Structure 1
Amino acid sequence: MLKPLQQRAWVRPVCAGVLALLILSVIFIATGITPFGQRNLLISDMGGQYLSFFTAYRHAILEHNFQLYSFSQSLGGSAVPTIAYYLMSPFNLLILLFPAANLPTGLSLIIMVKIAAIAVTTTLFLQTHYRTPRWATVLFGVAFSLSGFVALNYFTIMWLDALIWLPLVIMGLEHLITTGRPAMFFWWLWVSIVTNYYLGYMTCLFVICYFVYLLFEMKAPGSSIWQAVKMQARLIGKVCLTALLSGLSTLFLLIPTALGMLKTAKSAVKTTSYLPVPQFGFSALSQLGLGANNYATRLEHTPTIFSTTLVVLLVMVFFVHPNVRRAHKWHVFGLLLTLFLSMEIRTLDTAWHMFQRPAGFPYREAFFFSFVLVMVAFEAWQANAKAIANKWQWLLPSGLALALIVGWQRQRHAAAPLASHILLLSLAFVVITALILFATRKFLRAGLLTGVVAAELVSNGVLTMQKSPFGNQTAFNKAYQTEYRQMQAVNDPDGQLYRVENQNTLINKAYNYDSKYRNYNDPMLFNFHDITYYSSTFDNQTRLMLKSLGLFSKNARRVSSEGLNPVSAMLLGVKYSVNLNATGRATTTALASHAGMGFAVPDAVTRVALRPNSAIVNQERILQSLRPRKTPYFAAATVLKHQVKRDPAAKQYRYRHTLRLRVNHTGDLYYDDTAATSKYTTMRVNGRLLATKFNPNGGIVLRDLGHFKKGTVVTLTVTTTRAQFDGHMHIASLDQAAFQNVYHVLQRSAFVPEYHASGFRTVVSGNVDNVNDRHWLYVAIPADSGWHVSVNGRPVTSKTVVGGMQALPIQAGRNTVKLVYHVPGGTSGLLVSIISLLGFTALAWYGRRRR
């Protein structure tokens, strides 16, 4: 006969999931979020990154065109880091149920399902850990599923998986300790790492902390921890070996991901990140109540540890409860203190974040603290909170209220005008919760607390969503379908390889202005190849090369096509330009500078070194290496007159420069501020304001001032941070006729390849006629160790040129070129994973034999 705990053990977790869904539905209804309203979650990185990645992921699966190298990631790069970080969750498969135009609704539903799953697994853990069939597990499971971390970061959709798997990982660890069977711990830890390696890494750190806590719990009274370690040496070895094999078995994904991430700017660690200084003060106490954060404070805030007033009060009850062992209290206090200090001390906090200071969304490990709070609170609930002394029943709520008042007084963020109202609401929940907890009977207490907790979670969810610039789903649906049809003219998922400069911004109408959508990931959203890209996995060598050619890069995670000109377009293989005309229709124009994805070049090109952030200098060097001539391709404009006016009221750009310039070549005139001192949104040419797409103020970008004939006098005005126009300012015009001569020569040996996915390989192949008997083929594909190149059937070694592109040795006449991409580290990672899985199988088999 089944024990009571085993009878219908799934009922309470399922009820927890349903209750979490209901609460989240009320929050979404109150805020008008799809599928309950016309607002969608195209905010922050959800709108700028995740939606595009999920759309590309959906397309790849449905079109059977899944590739591990993507030409939609700027110039191209390994897709494995992006897949590993954003797309490995099994819940993501739900997007296949939605058309691309309705994907924001699909993402909202995935968020709802994931939050419900957190409630399910937490409830399952609580009833297993405490061996109880009590219905109260539902309430505490829901409290964790909608805790402060979730309420603030729900739209960072890939992080939610870590909270789903965490209770199951700890269940597996405890199962291993009690039964000696490692399979549950091995596989749930494996799932946690594979679905999101970043928070999976944090889960591994928490497992270490929790296992040390369990060792203290297991030691005999009066014995030292070292004696307990000696007593449990076999168990410690088994836990460590299981965890190690689980981690090693994920290397099929982690090694390629690590090799890709080492190419990003994240590999440069600042030593100041390790200083052991405190990171927050008493303002963190505001996080004990609801509404301490909202969208406006998402990038900077104290740890989001809110887990409902009930949980906080019960944790306080735990430490004064007469029926809880003193040693147990100290062990729990040690675990909570360890987690708290790991957030408070910068050195430890940086270790949680893979030794990188997070660029916004700090304290991403805060949910572990909330998880322990929920555990401890439920234990206090089981022990009967009313068993504490009467004085504590008054002092504990009073202490919590005082802490909230102090915390809100110290709080200094964008929600300050609402602070008094939120504080009063938090204090009201303290009073109501304490009265129900300490002054009502058992049967009435559970029902009332369920209602209060649900109301508090709804209130916190709605308050946290304040100031969120939600998108419009109706507008998105219409704009997406229209723009997708417009982009089909250049949509080439598998065929001739070329790039597009996309200026089509129709989809922007679906976004709230405050979200500032900049079309960085439109190539993934609409399935074409552009230069723009925005991701934490961006190859930094590619980004720096593009920046040195004049393209605008706001920071280490993104690059735009602003700053593209005929020279860089030719070097990057840009074939088409797509623009919106005055009637709102997209027009596609073939660029005259297109010479395929490469061309035969002389030896001099392989010796060109780019100067950082100096577009005109670099393009001049490249053109001279392609076809040397005594007269520069870029002729500096002659400054006829220069006036400077200082604006004392301006905070940064105080100097307004007015220059009269004489153009010395017929062609486009360019402005290149290599010191990033200019405010481009103030730039006027002959009184006409120049439009910018990305507003690159204080950045480095090659600005086209317009097409002028030789001898034309131009008036330029711009504000800068400096009073002088010194050597960092380059204003020059490109000799249009001379450039066309270079282009026509290169076009005769144009490399126009096709590409396709073959299994997990990407193959680029084509022919090139080396009519000028040059030694190298320049290929506009970033240099990467994953490319295996053959020319005329023979393997060759490529050379990195022009700051990051490839040059292949070729012969006279026709050459057949083939580039095959194998993910670096893929084979070795797979081999280690297989060996680790075999090792774990042997360990499990040996354990069964011993038992």
Structure 2
Amino acid sequence: MKKVLKFMKKKLYHLSGYLGAFFLPILVVILAFAGRGIAPLGDHNLLVSDLATQYFPFFNFLRMQLHNGGFSTYSFLFSLGDNTIPVYTYYLMSPLNLLVAFVKSAQIPLFMEAIIMIKIGLISLSMVVFLRVKEHKFNWRQLVAGVAYGLCGFVSMYFYDFMWLEALMVLPFLTLAIDRLFQKGKWGWYTFTLLVAILLNYYMGYMLCVYSVIYFVYLLLLHQPQSMKFWAYVKTQGTLLAKYIVSSILGGALSAILLVPTLVGMLSTGKGSLDWTSFLPIFRFLPSDLLSLGVGATNFVGRLNHEPSLFVGSFFALGMLIFWFSPKIKRHEKRASAWLVGAIFVGMLIATFDTVWHMFQMPAGFPFREVYMLSFVMIWLGYQAWRRGAFSQFQVVKKAAGLLALLITIGYGSAFLEIRIARALHWATPFYVTSYWNWLWSMLFILLTVAAIGISQRQPRWWPLLLLVVSLEMGTNLWLALGGTHEYGNQNQFVQKYNRSAQLVKMAQDRHRFTRLDVNNQLYVHNFNINYNQYNDSLLFDFYGVNSYTSSLNVHTHDALTKLGLYSRNERRVSVRGLTPVTAQLLSVGRQVDISSTGKRQIKTTPTNAGLGYAVSDQLEHLHLANNDVYGNLNRLFQAESNSKTTVFHPNVVQLLQAQKERGQYRYRVRVTAAKPGMQYLDLQQVSPNQKLQIRVNGQPIQSRYPQNGAELIELGYRNAQEQFTVQFMSNRKLNQHDLQTTFASYQGQAVDRFSKATVPYQLHVDHPDRLAIHGNHFTGTVKTTQTRPVVLISIPYDQGWTITDGNKPVKMKKAVNGLSQVRLNPGTHRLTFRYQTPGLKAGFLISLVGLIGTGLAGWFWRKKRTVRRNA
């Protein structure tokens, strides 16, 4: 009985420690959130940055899928339609995300905050489990490392993209698995951990594969006999190397069932091309990064562009230095640790390696995504120094403290100089220093940490003082990281406006026929204190639109729309901005819904714009859109589909009146003479792309739902033929008279209107169009063709995953309009069946099957080898 009680007491002791490791950092987060008025102890929500524009819509999409009992591999809620597998595998693979099925849509912002807290707790717990396995016992002091890891600089700056946080949970287990492989020759746990890492987020899984190589080399250095050279030692480890390489390949192969279709899908995005300049061996950051060793180096304002977030708290930054300074740590351990730290650090410092770290693509925002690995290593080394008595040498502690203070001071001094040099030379400064006053906070926490170390060394029972100081410092850093912004939303107001918007958009839809909506929902936009562009609102309010913002956006969608004058800031975004009657017909945008900030709704319907496609002239087969010629592309598109020579966009006569330079920008005033009566357009995509133009027509600013940027066609109002008007706009570039001649045009749309009406009998009518949101991978439709209209132009992005049958006869889909789809049919009425098979899914399944067989064979072979060795 006593043994049972003793066993139960031990288990409760461990359980209470693990619960502490999980809940303590969550408590720190709650207090930091409360300090910023963020729920659950405030009125604000975290609908900022990617949480508002991507994660909330994607979570709502997942919620809809769960409530409808299935996961469609294709959905028409993503812009013109898109493969959903890359969205699932990049954003939504965490098992925790499935809990979204149990909350209402308007409560998802609070749900995301809860998920962030749970993940931070699990990150802390993973570090504690790692140290417990390393030490072969649980120790309450491990909680200090858990809190530091759960709230390290990476977490405080990157939790807005919380899909990456799983990688921090997996990293300690992956490290243990490699240890197990190296020391015991047991490879199964490593293969499984690598598989889990890739499945949870293939992007971070790839980074962990790179870390795996670095850590394996570290183990070789750590165990290298002093009497043997490194490469000679490596040659003696042939069996171990074979196990490592084979088990790594098996881990990747087993994940292929999701990894291959994801990679195929991502290769069809604008990220498929490489930028050779990102591989140049230049420095990615300067000495100012040293200030990030201290508290409060960066806040919300600098989240997209900053230097590596090295912050792990003063205690573990000191601990890493003490590890290298202390004579209690063996020389070969220091040498091996220098490789481990140096390989990761240099991998961030040199652009060539950093680009490789980031899957051969330099990240657009949230840089240095591998820095959490360095945080993990720093904390682990610091903890080793602490537990092995290196902190008992107080002279070493003071030496490390002096060096840490000096490094942080150098960082702030460098930042001061770098910013002023950059301003003088008009360079962009990617690093944002929150406040130079934070240098004082950093010095204060170093002093507090040194004092706590001194007290705990004299009185070991006072070690919880270190836990208190570390928790306070990590919480302060998170609180400072949340600062610098007034963009947080009001949750109570959000619930009301979201529910009202959902009701208004639902009532504006007509799901009896397929048509896309152009929704301008200012009621919902006014929920945000950010520049909210309504990119993924179709996922929030369940309607078919054009807008989309996702890292997996089909490149064909992007190319076709941008060449026709629609807005795109980069390869991840497209928008309905820049829509013209020609593109509205092409994309079946048949209803414009305007919802004012007070909730008043206006609907403008174009009855002829319906159907997922329509039959056109065979001249479309010869159409190719040109770069930097939007008006010409629109004219060629209309002429090809209607088999006419009618020009609908006519160049205007432009006279440059004034060009004045102001603070690095140019203010232009031009006189425009309308060539034809009708809507006048401005196109600056070629000469001034993606700039805020501040347009005025005849001295009056033009009305627009968004700031006018030089990346889409912009309406300037109706004008009569030969009517003159003046236009003022800003540009970062110096323009001449020749540049301006191609920027203004008149639209004359009578021929387009006649063609749209004549096309109604030849539209592709989809059966049950309301199902395309959830079951977009399989649908049927009817279309009529004639000898003069033999080609069906379909507003679906071209994708090799589609197969189309006419009755039982397969029909070949071809690319049209540089990115959409077309099929050629004989005259008559056709019943078309569309089926989508995710590209790469079959190949991925076969590779995973081979990997599964290979895993079984490897297990049998190595087990048999051990048995033979024992018998011998």
> What's the TM-score once normalised by structure 1's chain length?
0.94
Alpha carbons of 1:497 and 1:182: their partners in 2 closer, same or farther (altered >3 Å)? farther
2:768 is equivalent to residue 752 of structure 1 = no
2:274 alignment counterpart: 269
1:338 alignment counterpart: 343
Q: CA deviation at 1:593?
A: 4.2
CA contact (8 A) 1:674 1:728 kept: no
Counterpart of 2:453 (choices 400, 414, 437) is 437
Distance 1:262 1:841 in 2: 32
What is the 5 A alignment of 1:37-436?
37-388=42-393, 390-412=394-416, 419-436=435-452
Provide Cα deviations, 1:243-292, integer angstroms capped at 9, x if missing partner. 11011111111111111111222222121111112222321221211111
CA contact (8 A) 1:215 1:229 kept: yes
Q: CA deviation at 1:583?
A: 5.3
SS at match of 2:831: strand
Q: Which moves more between the two structures, 417-426 or 104-113? A: 417-426
Q: CA deviation at 1:519?
A: 0.6
SS at match of 2:311: coil
Distance 1:166 1:761 in 2: 37
2:609 is equivalent to residue 605 of structure 1 = no
CA contact (8 A) 1:436 1:448 kept: yes
Q: CA deviation at 1:419?
A: 3.3
Distance 1:613 1:650 in 2: 28
2:463 alignment counterpart: 446
Q: CA deviation at 1:433?
A: 1.0
Alpha carbons of 1:701 and 1:349: their partners in 2 closer, same or farther (altered >3 Å)? same
Counterpart of 1:475 (choices 488, 493, 504) is 493
1:585 alignment counterpart: 600
2:859 alignment counterpart: 844
Q: CA deviation at 1:386?
A: 4.0
What is the 5 A alignment of 1:426-575?
426-440=442-456, 441-468=458-485, 469-489=487-507, 496-512=513-529, 515-575=530-590
CA contact (8 A) 1:673 1:728 kept: no
Provide Cα deviations, 1:135-166, integer angstroms capped at 9, x if missing partner. 11111111111111111111111010100111
2:844 alignment counterpart: 829
Q: Which moves more between the two structures, 130-139 or 827-836? A: 130-139
Distance 1:246 1:624 in 2: 54
Alpha carbons of 1:631 and 1:824: their partners in 2 closer, same or farther (altered >3 Å)? closer
Q: CA deviation at 1:647?
A: 2.4
Q: CA deviation at 1:131?
A: 2.1
Q: CA deviation at 1:677?
A: 3.2
TM-align CA RMSD: 2.5
2:666 is equivalent to residue 653 of structure 1 = yes
CA contact (8 A) 1:637 1:663 kept: yes
Q: CA deviation at 1:454?
A: 0.9
CA contact (8 A) 2:68 2:774 kept: no
CA contact (8 A) 1:111 1:157 kept: yes
SS at match of 2:71: coil
Provide Cα deviations, 1:24-73, integer angstroms capped at 9, x if missing partner. 11111111111221111111111111111111111111122521112122
Distance 2:775 2:784 in 1: 30
Q: CA deviation at 1:10?
A: 4.4
Q: CA deviation at 1:325?
A: 1.6
Provide Cα deviations, 1:679-722, integer angstroms capped at 9, x if missing partner. 7753334544212333243x232222233455655554445542
Counterpart of 2:744 (choices 731, 749, 771) is 731
1:36 alignment counterpart: 41
Q: Which moves more between the two structures, 99-108 or 795-804? A: 795-804
Provide Cα deviations, 1:626-662, integer angstroms capped at 9, x if missing partner. 33445533344456xx351232435322322133x24
Distance 1:267 1:231 in 2: 41
Counterpart of 1:668 (choices 679, 682, 686) is 679
Q: What amino acid is the match of 2:370? A: E
Q: Which moves more between the two structures, 276-285 or 724-733? A: 724-733
Distance 1:524 1:732 in 2: 35
Distance 1:358 1:717 in 2: 35
Alpha carbons of 1:788 and 1:846: their partners in 2 closer, same or farther (altered >3 Å)? same
Q: What amino acid is the match of 1:395? A: K
SS at match of 2:517: strand
CA contact (8 A) 1:289 1:306 kept: yes
Distance 1:207 1:6 in 2: 32
Distance 2:834 2:248 in 1: 39
Q: CA deviation at 1:747?
A: 1.4
Q: CA deviation at 1:379?
A: 0.9
CA contact (8 A) 1:475 1:509 kept: no
1:689 alignment counterpart: 701
Size of the aligned set, in residue pairs, is 842
Alpha carbons of 1:757 and 1:581: their partners in 2 closer, same or farther (altered >3 Å)? closer
> What's the TM-score once normalised by structure 2's chain length?
0.92
Provide Cα deviations, 1:603-632, integer angstroms capped at 9, x if missing partner. 111111112232221121122223344553
Q: CA deviation at 1:213?
A: 0.9
Distance 2:743 2:291 in 1: 52
Q: What amino acid is the match of 2:559? A: L
Q: What amino acid is the match of 2:399? A: L
1:813 alignment counterpart: 828
Q: What amino acid is the match of 2:642? A: R
Q: CA deviation at 1:847?
A: 3.8
Distance 2:365 2:382 in 1: 30
Distance 2:753 2:432 in 1: 60
Q: CA deviation at 1:495?
A: 7.2
Alpha carbons of 1:845 and 1:487: their partners in 2 closer, same or farther (altered >3 Å)? farther
SS at match of 1:419: coil
Tell me, which stretches of 5 or more residues in structure 2 are unaligned?
Answer: 420-428, 868-872
1:622 alignment counterpart: 637
Q: CA deviation at 1:845?
A: 4.0
Provide Cα deviations, 1:778-816, integer angstroms capped at 9, x if missing partner. 111111100101123200112211111111111212111
Q: CA deviation at 1:772?
A: 5.4
Q: CA deviation at 1:448?
A: 1.0
Q: CA deviation at 1:668?
A: 2.6
Distance 1:384 1:559 in 2: 58
Distance 2:663 2:345 in 1: 43
CA contact (8 A) 1:218 1:228 kept: no
Distance 2:371 2:829 in 1: 61
CA contact (8 A) 1:569 1:593 kept: no
SS at match of 1:107: helix
Identity %: 31
Distance 1:113 1:105 in 2: 12
What is the 5 A alignment of 1:786-805?
786-805=801-820
Q: CA deviation at 1:753?
A: 1.2
Alpha carbons of 1:416 and 1:499: their partners in 2 closer, same or farther (altered >3 Å)? closer
Distance 2:10 2:512 in 1: 59
2:711 is equivalent to residue 700 of structure 1 = yes
